[in-house]
Structure 1
Amino acid sequence: MLSENLSLNPNIKLVAIDMDGTLLDEAKQLTAENKEAIRKARQAGVHVVICTGRPKSGILPYAQELGLEDDYVIANNGSWLFKTNDWSPLASHSLSREALEHIVAIFDNTPGINLVFFTQEANYALGKELYPAAIRDAEIENSKLYHTTFEAFLDLDIPVAVAVFMGEETVMDAFQDRADALLSEQVATVRSMDYAYEALPLGVDKGRALKDLAAELNLAPESIMVLGDGNNDLEMFDFAGVAVAMANASDAVKAQADFVTHSNQESGVAKAIYDHIL
Structure 2
Amino acid sequence: MTRIALVVSDVDGTLVTRDKTLTDGAIRAARRLHEAGIGFTITSSRPAIGMSFLIEPLAITLPVGPFNGSSIVDPQLKPVELHLIPEAAARRSLDVLNEFGVDIWLFTNEKWLTRHPDAEYVPHEKRAIRADPTIVGDFTPYLTTACKIVGSSSDAALLQRCEAAMKQALGAEATAVRSQTYYLDVTPPGHNKGTFVEAMARRLGISTEAVATIGDMQNDLAMFRKSGLSIAMGNATDDVKKVATHVTASNEEEGFAGAIDMILKDNELR
Query: TM-score, normalised on structure 1?
Result: 0.86
Asked whether the equivalents of residues 10 and 42 of structure 2 are also in contact (C-alpha less than 8 Å), the reply is: yes
Aligned length: 264
- CA distance, structure 1, for counterparts of residue 264 and residue 144 of structure 2: 41
Using a 3 Å threshold, how does the CA distance of structure 1 residues 125 and 243 change in structure 2: closer, same or farther? same
One-letter amino acid of the counterpart of residue 74, structure 1: G
Secondary structure at the aligned position of 2:213 is classed as: strand
Offset, 1:126: 4.1
For 2:96 and 2:26, locate their aligned partners in 1 and report how far apart those are by CA, in whole Å: 41
Deviation at 1:209, TM superposition (A): 1.5
**Within-5 A mapping of 1:120-269:** 120-126=109-115, 130-150=118-138, 153-154=140-141, 159-170=145-156, 171-176=158-163, 178-184=165-171, 186-269=173-256
User: SS at the partner of 2:22?
Assistant: coil
1:178: Cα distance to partner? Answer: 4.5
Instruction: For structure 2, list consecutive stretches of 5 or more residues without a partner in the other structure.
Output: 266-270
Q: Deviations over 1:64-103 (max 9, x none)?
A: 22222x222111101221121x322111211122222222
- Counterpart position of 1:79: 70
**Counterpart code for 1:122:** K
- Give the drift of 1:231: 0.5
Query: CA, structure 1 residues 157+99, in 2 after alignment: closer, same or farther (shift >3 Å)?
Result: closer
Alignment-derived partner of residue 58 in structure 2: 66
Native 8 Å contact 2:167 2:175 kept in 1: no
2: CA distance, partners of 1:75 / 1:87: 10
> Could you tell me how far 1:41 is from its partner in structure 2?
0.8
For residues 138-187 of structure 1, what are the alpha-carbon distances to aligned partners after superposition, in whole Å with 9 as ceiling and x for unaligned? 33212331232336x51x68621111111222553454454442233632
* Other-structure match for 2:89: 99
User: Is 1:12 matched with 2:7?
Assistant: no
CA drift at 1:234: 0.2
Contact kept in structure 1, 2:197 and 2:208, CA below 8 Å: no
> In the alignment, which of 18, 25, 36 is matched to residue 28 of structure 2?
36
Alpha-carbon distance change, 15 to 185 in structure 1, aligned in 2, over 3 angstroms:
closer
Paired residue type of 1:147: I
1:214·1:221 contact (CA, 8 Å) conserved in 2?
yes
Is the 1:134–1:166 contact (alpha carbons within 8 Å) kept by the matching residues of 2? no
Secondary structure at 1:270's aligned position in 2? helix
**Contact map agreement 2:93 2:166 (CA 8 A) in 1:** no
TM superposition shift of 1:16: 0.4
User: RMSD of aligned C-alpha atoms?
Assistant: 2.3
Contact 1:130–1:147 (CA<8 Å) still a contact in 2?
no
Distance 2:235 2:183 in 1: 18
Runs of 4+ in 1 over 3 A off after TM superposition: 107-111, 173-180
3-state secondary structure, aligned to 2:173: coil
Q: Percent same amino acid at aligned positions?
A: 26
Contact 1:99–1:186 (CA under 8 A) maintained in structure 2: yes
> Residue 231 of structure 2 aligns to a residue in which SS?
strand
Residue 135 of structure 1 deviates from its aligned partner by: 3.8
Give the TM-score normalised by structure 2: 0.89
